């Protein structure tokens, strides 16, 4: 039997596979909070990079690589590759997000959850967070003006 014939490997109607995929999707916003990465484009790339270090997915790897390349081509002064790589390293050293019982810790102080997950601060991201947020605001404003033009 080869891997493509394993029940549930590509059949998302399998209840356990479906639950796992929904849990990952629904936990995404928790990942932003616990990792310290914002909702700006760089923060999103970092959450995806950190997550991909834990539960590799070719599609997510492609999105991260494309996002890094696109950002490097369009924005100067934002160390996107180094910041995303730091996120990946944080994901490799952190406890497994997929087996962490998030529901049990919703009332646990954030710093305690980070300690339980062995998450160190996102140093590179924090250094450029204000610039990243400013770039995100400018980008969104330009999209709004194009949309209303």
The per-residue pLDDT for range 26-42, each reduced to its tens digit, is 788 899 999 999 999 99
Percentage of the chain beyond pLDDT 90 is 62
Predicted local distance difference test score (pLDDT) of residue 8: 45
CA 41, CA 78: separation in Å to the nearest integer? 11
The residue extents of the domains of the chain are 14-147
Predicted local distance difference test score (pLDDT) of residue 11: 55
CA 8, CA 131: separation in Å to the nearest integer? 43
Q: In sequence order, what are the residues at sequence separation of 6 or more whose Cβ sits closer than 8 angstroms to the Cβ of residue 37?
A: 31, 43, 44, 46, 47, 50, 87, 122, 125
Backbone angles phi, psi at 10, to 5 degrees: -125, 10
CA 22, CA 99: separation in Å to the nearest integer? 14
Position 116 confidence tier, pLDDT thresholds 50, 70, 90: very high
Predicted local distance difference test score (pLDDT) of residue 24: 73
Q: In sequence order, what are the residues at sequence separation of 6 or more whose Cβ sits closer than 8 angstroms to the Cβ of residue 114?
A: 34
* Average pLDDT of the segment spanning 97-117: 95
Predicted local distance difference test score (pLDDT) of residue 71: 93
């Amino acid at each position: 039997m080869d891997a493509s014939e394993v029940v549930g490997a590509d059949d998302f109607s399998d209840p356990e596979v479906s639950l796992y995929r929904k849990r990952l999707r629904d936990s995404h916003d928790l990942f932003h909070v616990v990792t310290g990465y914002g909702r700006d484009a760089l923060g999103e790339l970092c959450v995806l990079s950190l997550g991909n270090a834990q539960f590799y997915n070719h599609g997510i790897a492609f999105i991260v690589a494309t996002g890094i390349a696109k950002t490097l081509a369009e924005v100067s002064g934002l160390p996107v590759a180094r910041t995303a790589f730091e996120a990946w390293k944080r994901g490799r050293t952190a406890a497994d997000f997929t087996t962490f019982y998030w529901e049990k810790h919703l009332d646990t102080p954030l710093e305690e959850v980070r300690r339980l997950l062995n998450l160190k601060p996102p140093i590179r991201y924090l250094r450029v967070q204000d610039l990243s947020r400013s770039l995100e605001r400018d980008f969104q404003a330009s999209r709004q003006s194009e949309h209303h033009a």
